[in-house]
Structure 1
Amino acid sequence: MVPLLAYVVPRFGADGFLLGSNYIWGWETNRVARDLIADAGGKVLGERYLPLGEVDVARLIAEVQATRPDFILNNLIGPSSYAFIAAYAELGRRDPHFRPERCPILSCNLTECELPALNGAGDGHLSVGPYFHDTSGADRGAASVSSVMPASSFEAAAYASVRTLAEILTRNPGAQWTDLPKVFAGTSFRTPLGDIAIDPQTQHATLPVQIGRIDGTSFKTVTLTKGVAPDPYLSRYDRTETFGRPRLRVVS
């Protein structure tokens, strides 16, 4: 979320409209987004949730049209997400403000597996993740692992997890759960995601962050940042480093 908004805010603006499916992942992702938007000097112009599987998005589209945000953060899942993206594409045909080059949809959960369901409606919008299957993208060092690129982040992450475990057990056959922080310390692992490491403090992985633009049934890489340290509780996050110093406002 931090690298995504750091990329989007200077290019499109800081005012966002937040969408989510009504369960904990959408709530928590939007909670983080609210804080980041405030740090960027923007406003949350709306925050709405749909029941899982709901495809009636007319009210969402009406509110987005009325508030005219700079971007929409889409934490809807499955059919709800597809329905909103399709309806938003129709809105963009009626009003140029809502075309992807002006007011993009940002997603943190779209992968190549789902793009065929969009039938082209998502073209030009942005998604973020640790991996996209972009054959024209930057070298990750994955060729030494496999000559065939994984089809999506799901496949890449599964391969990386099994390979990391195999390397640990090869080096330390008797390793127990309590030994893992010591085993992880100072060790990197070669995976389709690139070189990754496990942070001994949080047990989360150092991963790349890739922002991709939807192009049919694939993503075209916009930015790729390798080796982003894990920060699951935003304890390492620096507002001024990400968004610059807050602007002063003259009030009377």
Structure 2
Amino acid sequence: MYSRSGTYQALSEPLFIGTMEAIEAVNQDRAIPVSFTPITRDPACDLSNYAPMCADILSNSSAKHVVGCVTSSSRKEVIPELDRAQATLWYNVPYEGFETSARVVYSHAATNQNILPILGWAQRHFGNQGYLVGSNYIWGWETCRVARTRLEASGGRVLGERYLPLGDMSVEALIAEIERARPSFVLNSLVGASSYAFIAAYADLGRRDPHFAPENCPLLSCNLTEAELPVLGDAAEGMISVGPSFCETPTADGRGSSLERTAFQSVLTLAAILAEGVSGPFDSYLAEHGARYGIDPATHHKTLDVHIAQVRGGAFEILHSWTDIAPDPYLTRPSRHPQFRDPSLTVVRA
């Protein structure tokens, strides 16, 4: 259930491709005693479509697993339907954390695997004064809240925090305010068309004002992948992102993103679990055996590698990495937070 049309279509497409290719791989593998019949729906990035479409799938078929949703708002919309049907959502997108549901497997990065490492890395290399930008819904709010809390706790400052409605491309006033504030870095939590307009405008700002060039004041993202690079073109150069995997060679069609890979792996994991002959509630099985598949039994989040990468020459170049970071969506287990061994940058102003 992915939106193949609408404002964040470019995010949904690799998820859909990864899912469908994995279904085909499972169905063709005679060694796997499981086969899948896909039932597809396109919510068209309209929040009001998600719950009815999910309910339709679950009530008019034998399906008990849904692979889908991009935004946190859409994920929250379908959870009541999943509860009613005792079904499971495989959610394959980085998100803001602070949620655990027996009905969801969170297969991509959570708070300690995305926001914390990229923010800590930026503070060490560029300074402690951030400007926060986000889409006006849960992902933007929570990403910026965590960033603001962490910055202030470490002696940093938030020079500005602004939100745009999903799909809003009017970024001129926002760029002007950033230009006046002159932060050390900008954290971009915008989604879809809003993000593309902002990134293009920020690249223009960097060309006319050296302070905002990538080497001085980079644009950070917790969810930029190869899938959106064809849409962004040269405007993406110098952007810094965080994720469980990156392709270090350019791909013209944006293939190979962590979104595509995560969706693919989720279907393979589901097939492997079902091949064990699961009986009884699926969440009970995960509570007992989830760790076997890299799924934390307590929170249903996955252990992942974490990479900081920068767009250079049309592809991502990895700058820093951690392996096997266990999830901590509520930020209550510091031992699971990526650690830095290099000293922090101290900025002294005359």
Shorter-chain TM range is 0.7 to 0.9
Contact 1:40 1:243 (C-alpha < 8 Å) held by counterparts: no
Q: What residue identity is the alignment partner of 1:152?
A: S
Q: Deviations over 1:144-199 (max 9, x none)?
A: xxxxxx611121111111121222223344363222211124x24xxxxxxxx111
Report how far residue 233 of structure 1 moved.
0.6
Distance 1:170 1:243 in 2: 40
Q: Report the CA distance shift for 1:116/1:241 in structure 2 as closer, same or farther (over 3 A).
A: closer
- Tell me what 1:166 maps to: 271
- Tell me what 1:179 maps to: 285
Greater percentage in strand: 1
- Tell me what 1:152 maps to: 257
Contact 1:168 1:183 (C-alpha < 8 Å) held by counterparts: no
1:212-227 map, 5 Å: 212-227=309-324
- Tell me what 2:61 maps to: none
| TM-score of the two chains, using structure 1 as the length reference | 0.81
Report how far residue 121 of structure 1 moved.
1.1
Distance 1:205 1:118 in 2: 29
Distance 2:290 2:139 in 1: 28
1:76-115 map, 5 Å: 76-115=190-229
Distance 2:305 2:157 in 1: 28
Uncovered stretches (5+) of structure 2, i.e. residues with no partner:
1-114, 342-350
Higher relative contact order, structure no. (Cα contacts within 8 Å, ≥ 6 residues apart)? 2
Report how far residue 216 of structure 1 moved.
4.5
Greater percentage in helix: 2
Q: Report the CA distance shift for 1:25/1:48 in structure 2 as closer, same or farther (over 3 A).
A: same
Q: Report the CA distance shift for 1:179/1:241 in structure 2 as closer, same or farther (over 3 A).
A: closer
Report how far residue 243 of structure 1 moved.
7.8
Report how far residue 68 of structure 1 moved.
0.7
Report how many residues are paired.
Answer: 224
- Tell me what 1:145 maps to: none
Distance 1:45 1:231 in 2: 28
Distance 1:104 1:237 in 2: 27
- Tell me what 1:54 maps to: 168
- Tell me what 2:328 maps to: 231
Report how far residue 102 of structure 1 moved.
0.6
**Secondary structure at 2:234's aligned position in 1?**
coil
Distance 2:272 2:248 in 1: 27
Contact 1:112 1:217 (C-alpha < 8 Å) held by counterparts: no
Correspondence for 2:152 among 38, 50, 55 = 38
Report how far residue 215 of structure 1 moved.
2.6
Distance 1:121 1:105 in 2: 11
Uncovered stretches (5+) of structure 1, i.e. residues with no partner:
137-149, 189-196, 245-252
Q: Deviations over 1:117-145 (max 9, x none)?
A: 21201201101112222259xxxxxxxxx
- Tell me what 1:72 maps to: 186
Distance 2:205 2:232 in 1: 15
Q: Report the CA distance shift for 1:121/1:85 in structure 2 as closer, same or farther (over 3 A).
A: same
Distance 1:91 1:165 in 2: 46
Contact 2:132 2:162 (C-alpha < 8 Å) held by counterparts: yes
Contact 2:286 2:295 (C-alpha < 8 Å) held by counterparts: no
Q: Report the CA distance shift for 1:76/1:241 in structure 2 as closer, same or farther (over 3 A).
A: closer
Q: Report the CA distance shift for 1:209/1:243 in structure 2 as closer, same or farther (over 3 A).
A: closer
Q: What residue identity is the alignment partner of 1:163?
A: L
Alpha-carbon RMSD across the aligned residues, in angstroms, is 2.5
Percent sequence identity over aligned pairs: 53
Contact 1:20 1:75 (C-alpha < 8 Å) held by counterparts: yes
- Tell me what 1:116 maps to: 230
